[in-house]
Amino acid sequence: MKTLFFIIGPTIGWFACVIGAAKGLFWLGPLLVALLLLASIHIKGSRYLSRILILFSASIVFGLLFDSLLIGFDIYTPKRWLMPAPLATLWLLALWANFSITIDTSLKWFQNHPGYAVILGAIFGPIAYFSGQRLEALTIIRPTGVAILILAIAWALAMVVLMIIARNLPSPEKTPRHGPAIYRH
């Protein structure tokens, strides 16, 4: 059941963010993602709280820089909500928060396989943006071939960076329950 939540939940979160933005219900995605994040914390347990919050924060900061650059270089234009151009809008940041839920769950294997993370990002990154355009949440400005190439390169990099961040975080699974050896008597 937990595995199913970590596959279906973020998928629903993605659709809530994108369709919400397309329909002018910009608050829908961020609200649902906040609930998914709380559910993720509950399911994984308090031992994982700091790890979840670090991945959440890193994803949002990375996403703010990442999408703001893509917007600033006229790769695409999202439907705006609360944030001035060229900054990524809040519904886009909610997408990054939603993505953070998958980094340590359904995408965890990629943390130790960066080559495959590059391939995953290069393929599915552009698909996500073109899907967002089809659902009318954003408009891709560059010619299709150029946009695909830029988004593929950007998402290949994004996947590797976020997987490396996750791989290098301390894991509650690897930490002894009684604390690091340095603190034991």
For residues 18 and 20, what is the distance between their CA atoms, to the nearest angstrom?
5
Residue 40 falls within a domain, yes or no? Answer: yes
Q: What is the pLDDT of residue 1?
A: 77
Tokens of 95: 């997408």
Q: Do 142 and 173 meet the contact criterion of CB atoms below 8 Å apart?
A: no
Q: Do 60 and 50 meet the contact criterion of CB atoms below 8 Å apart?
A: no
Tokens of 92: 């886009």
Q: What is the pLDDT of residue 82?
A: 87
Burial classification of residue 98, based on how many CB atoms lie within 10 Å of its CB (0-12 exposed, 13-18 middle, 19 or more buried): buried
Residue 177 falls within a domain, yes or no? Answer: no
Q: What is the pLDDT of residue 174?
A: 58
Residue 180 falls within a domain, yes or no? Answer: no
* Range(s) of the domain holding residue 96: 2-171
- Its pTM surpasses 0.95: no
Please give the DSSP secondary-structure letter assigned to residue 44: H
Q: Give the number of other Cβ atoms within 10 Å of residue 115's Cβ.
A: 9
Residue 153 falls within a domain, yes or no? Answer: yes
Q: How many CA atoms lie within 13 A of 114 on its CB side?
A: 11
Residue 181 falls within a domain, yes or no? Answer: no
Residue 98 falls within a domain, yes or no? Answer: yes
Domain count, the chain: 1
Q: Do 67 and 129 meet the contact criterion of CB atoms below 8 Å apart?
A: no
Bridge partners of residue 140, in order along the sequence: 76
Return the closest-CA partner of residue 79 out of 159, 122, 24: 24
Please give the DSSP secondary-structure letter assigned to residue 154: H
Residue 101 falls within a domain, yes or no? Answer: yes
Q: Do 40 and 52 meet the contact criterion of CB atoms below 8 Å apart?
A: yes
Tens-binned pLDDT, residue by residue, of the chain (185 aa): 788 898 899 999 999 999 999 999 999 999 999 999 999 999 998 888 999 999 999 999 999 999 999 999 999 999 998 889 999 999 999 999 999 999 999 999 999 999 999 999 999 999 999 999 999 999 999 889 999 999 999 999 999 999 999 999 987 765 555 544 444 44
C-alpha separations of 135 from 22, 24, 64, 139, 164 in Å = 7, 12, 22, 10, 31
Residue 176 falls within a domain, yes or no? Answer: no
Q: What is the pLDDT of residue 46?
A: 85
